[in-house]
Amino acid sequence: MTLDLVKERGIPLDDQSLSWKEMVGRPYSKLDVDAFTRVRVILMNGIESEQLRFLHVAARMNRELREPLARIRRIEQQQQTLVNWLHPADQSPLETTLGYEQVAIELTADIAQKEPDPYLAQTHRFGLLEDFDHLYRYAALYDRLEG
């Protein structure tokens, strides 16, 4: 089954509002889940956060769209909160930082593989070196602190 954005009508905004009980999901266990679960949660949280910033800027630019965008932003803020609260309470800031670096590596590598222009692909692969360096240094710090 594929998503057809032209035919799909989506869910009405009034039906997307979440209660506090619905917003509070069960956090993942950092010991029991696949490493890519953390990557997916961090990536989705980043997408939701950026989308909120974009809608805020768009609302400032267009007076007529302020009210509809405010309604959308409220729903998006609830979704972003839901995703953000999936992080476990026992995950340290350093572990979260390691996750951010893993996200950067995964996304950059995927973009580099799919880039048709050889020069741009090489540029992305060069950027991977910096991401790997960060991951290595944070992992070494984590190993030193946590053992």
What sign does the dihedral 60-64-68-70 (CA atoms) show? Answer: positive
Q: Would you say residue 111 has pLDDT above 90?
A: yes
pLDDT score recorded for residue 14: 83
- pLDDT digits 0-9 by tens, 11-60: 888 888 888 888 888 899 989 998 889 999 999 999 999 988 999 898 89
Q: Would you say residue 107 has pLDDT above 80?
A: yes
Distance CA 79, CA 73 (A): 10
Residue 7 pLDDT class (50, 70, 90 cuts)? confident
Distance CA 112, CA 93 (A): 28
Comparing C-alpha atoms, which of 127, 87, 134 is closest to residue 109? 127
Give the global pTM.
0.78
Q: Would you say residue 3 has pLDDT above 70?
A: no
- Kindly report the average pLDDT of the chain as a whole number: 90
pLDDT score recorded for residue 50: 92
Distance CA 98, CA 84 (A): 16
pLDDT score recorded for residue 1: 58
Map out the domains of the chain as residue ranges. Answer: 29-87, 92-147
